[in-house]
Amino acid sequence: KENQTAEIKRKIRLAWIAFGKLNFIFKNKDIPINFKRKAFDSCVLPVITYGLETMTMTKKTAEQLKVTQRAMERML
């Protein structure tokens, strides 16, 4: 369980790094939201979700991932 918690935290950290690398797209007001959404769905979400099927998903884990995703989506 401790190892899984560390892995979830690592995934969240890596997702924020991926999000930061694309921040120039997400902060640009001239880029349409649908393009930003596609960039988010294809470049950031896979970082979070890769390998999750091998883990036991608890309510706390699912909530952590949802909170992270919502925080990123609000910044689009």
- DSSP 3-state of 76: coil
Decide if pLDDT at 54 tops 90: no
Angle between helices 2-21 and 59-74 (to 10 degrees): 10
Rg (CA), the chain: 13
> What is residue 30's predicted lDDT score, i.e. its pLDDT?
96
Looking at the predicted structure, is the pLDDT value of residue 63 above 90?
A: yes
**Residue linked to tokens 């991926």:** 18
**pLDDT tens digits for range 23-53:** 999 999 999 999 999 999 999 999 998 988 8
Q: Would you kindly state where each structural domain of the chain is located, as residue ranges?
A: 1-74
